């Protein structure tokens, strides 16, 4: 009995070995090829022209596509573009060229790039990342680090850089202390002595009267200041003005709602230079001529032509000056900081001063002795005639926006509700019912006659 059992065990062992060998022989054909190994992108940058990402990878037939995934500083979305067409496999060159013309990508922007392969079963393989710092390499930059701001300049010597850095640090310290916010990450301040170089980086769409521009997404300020202008009053104003925008952004950042532009620009002008005589005269002239723009018109982009553009700034600082004068500086700070919670205009203003946005504007206009500005743009269309089968009360003209009682058309005749007195519509309905009944009886008589005929 024991001998018989041993032979069966040996037979089973031999069968197991044969099955294992067969499985091993079939393995290369049954399992998916190994995941591709993707390289870190090599990068070549030509400033104001293009950024080229390249690489090489050996791909199997399981790879459906290969892409470049690019994350750009200041954006919460990834940029994805095809980097190769894999075909049936083998060694494939990977490449993507990102166009970077004037204004497309600002200097001092960081990027992170990597290749990504998508397999036919839907799985994804990422390669290692490469970090790119996009910089203006055309000019010989000098650099000076301050407490909050790092200044970069090209002309004017060391004294120029020290003066610019002192103004910048003082502005960030004062505005941050006023609004009660930390300065956050360091701010880079690039000063271009040449106007053409300055506009090259900002792009062709930049307005010709712009001398400085702040970009909170990359914590960078650009300005056009000649080496002989560093001690001018304009420079002592434009640097704090633009840096105020960056501190203001730190105070109000939220994922839902940004404050109106007139408040942002008004505070920047107010803290940098105050409500000066030039702005006062511009607002007074606009009140007399009826050219004053409503604050709602200044909530987004400012006008593009020069006169309304400058008036928009004058009105903005006038409104902020009124806010501080009537309700106090603490109310302005409360108003600004409340936006961090993502509140609406009305909620922010009511929490700070007890008035909604319309109430604040009405009080400001009253202080100027100005009538409410005439709104421009689309207006509601007048109400049309009421349909004949309308159920319910006809709209009251006074309740229709933009329609007066005298201009509203008269409602069409018809029932006006369940209590309406029966009129011609009710009589018509009865007549139709009688005709239908008569037609039914006549049809029945004709059918019966036809059946009796044979």
Name which of 90, 16, 80 is nearest 56 in CA terms: 90
- The CATH homologous superfamily for domain 42-134 is Immunoglobulins (2.60.40.10)
Alpha-carbon distance of 176 to 209, in angstroms, equals 28
Once rounded to an integer, what is the mean pLDDT over residues 275-283? 97
Average pLDDT, integer, range 183-202: 91
Express each pLDDT in 60-78 by its tens digit: 888 999 999 999 998 989 9
How is residue 208 written in tokens? 């010709």
More confident of the two residues 429 and 12: 429
CATH topology of domain 153-368: Neutral Protease; domain 2 (1.10.390)
Torsion of CA 238, 241, 245, 247, to 10 degrees: 120
The span from the CA of 359 to the CA of 115, in Å, is: 55
3-class state of residue 306 by DSSP: helix
In this prediction, residue 183 carries a pLDDT of 62
Rounded Cα gap, residues 318 and 296, in angstroms? 15
In 3D space, the residue among 60, 76, 68 whose CA is nearest the CA of residue 43 turns out to be 68
pLDDT at 42: 98
Q: What is the pLDDT of residues 23-43, one digit of tens each?
A: 433 434 333 446 789 999 999
pLDDT at position 8: 39
Q: Return the DSSP state at 202.
A: H
Mean pLDDT value of segment 245-252:
93
List the chain domain ranges.
42-134, 153-368
Q: What is the mean pLDDT of residues 166-192?
A: 90
C-alpha gyration radius of the chain: 37
- What is the CB-side half-sphere exposure of residue 341 using CA atoms within 13 A? 11
Look at residue 387 in the predicted model and tell me its pLDDT: 79
Which pLDDT tens digit goes with each residue over 133-158?
A: 999 999 999 999 999 999 999 998 99
* Between 185 and 121, residue with greater pLDDT: 121
pLDDT at 121 over 80: yes
CB neighbours of 233 closer than 8 A, spacing ≥ 6? none
Same fold, 42-134 and 153-368: no
Give residues with Cβ within 8 angstroms of 222, minimum separation 6: 106, 190, 192, 198, 201, 202, 212, 213, 214, 215
Q: What is the pTM of this model?
A: 0.72
pLDDT of residue 417: 39
């Amino acid at each position: 009995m024991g001998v018989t059992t041993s032979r069966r065990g040996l037979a089973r062992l031999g069968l197991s070995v044969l099955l294992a060998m067969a499985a091993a022989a079939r393995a290369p054909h049954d399992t998916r090829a190994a995941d591709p190994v993707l390289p870190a992108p090599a990068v070549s940058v030509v400033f104001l022209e293009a950024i080229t990402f390249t690489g090489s990878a050996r791909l199997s037939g399981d790879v459906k596509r290969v892409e470049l995934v690019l994350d750009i500083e200041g954006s919460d979305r990834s940029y994805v573009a095809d980097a190769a067409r894999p075909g049936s496999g083998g060694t494939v060159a990977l490449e993507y060229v990102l166009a970077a013309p004037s204004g497309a990508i600002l200097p001092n922007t960081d990027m992170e790039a990597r290749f990504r392969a998508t397999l036919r079963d839907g799985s994804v393989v990422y390669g290692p990342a490469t970090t790119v710092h996009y910089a203006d390499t055309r000019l010989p930059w000098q650099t000076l680090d301050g407490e909050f701001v790092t200044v970069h300049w090209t002309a004017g010597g060391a004294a120029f850089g020290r003066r610019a850095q002192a103004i910048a640090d003082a502005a960030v310290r004062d505005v941050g202390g006023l609004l009660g916010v930390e300065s956050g990450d360091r701010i880079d301040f690039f000063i271009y002595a040449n106007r053409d170089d300055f506009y090259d980086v900002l792009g062709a769409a930049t307005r010709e009267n712009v001398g400085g521009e702040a970009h909170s997404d990359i914590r960078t300020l650009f300005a056009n200041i000649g080496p002989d202008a560093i001690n001018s009053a304009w420079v002592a104003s434009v640097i704090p003005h633009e840096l105020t925008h960056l501190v203001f952004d730190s105070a109000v950042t939220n994922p839902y709602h940004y404050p109106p532009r007139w408040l942002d620009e008004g505070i920047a002008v107010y803290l940098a230079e105050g409500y000066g005589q030039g702005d006062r005269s511009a607002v007074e002239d606009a009140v007399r001529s009826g050219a004053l723009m409503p604050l709602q018109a200044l909530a987004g982009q400012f006008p593009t032509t020069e006169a309304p553009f400058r008036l928009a700034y004058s009105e903005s600082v006038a409104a902020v000056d009124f806010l501080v004068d009537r309700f106090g500086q603490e109310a302005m700070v409360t108003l600004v900081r409340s936006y961090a919670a993502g509140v609406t205009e009305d909620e922010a203003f009511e929490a700070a001063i007890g008035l909604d946005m319309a109430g604040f504007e009405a009080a400001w206009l009253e202080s100027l002795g100005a009538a409410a500005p005439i709104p421009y743009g689309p207006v509601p269309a007048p109400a049309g005639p009421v349909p004949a089968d309308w159920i319910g009360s006809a709209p009251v003209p006074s309740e229709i926006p933009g329609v007066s009682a005298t201009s509203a058309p008269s409602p069409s005749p018809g029932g006006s509700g369940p209590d309406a007195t029966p009129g011609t519509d009710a009589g018509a309905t009865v007549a139709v019912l009688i005709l239908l009944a008569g037609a039914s009886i006549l049809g029945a008589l004709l059918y019966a006659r036809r059946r009796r005929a044979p």
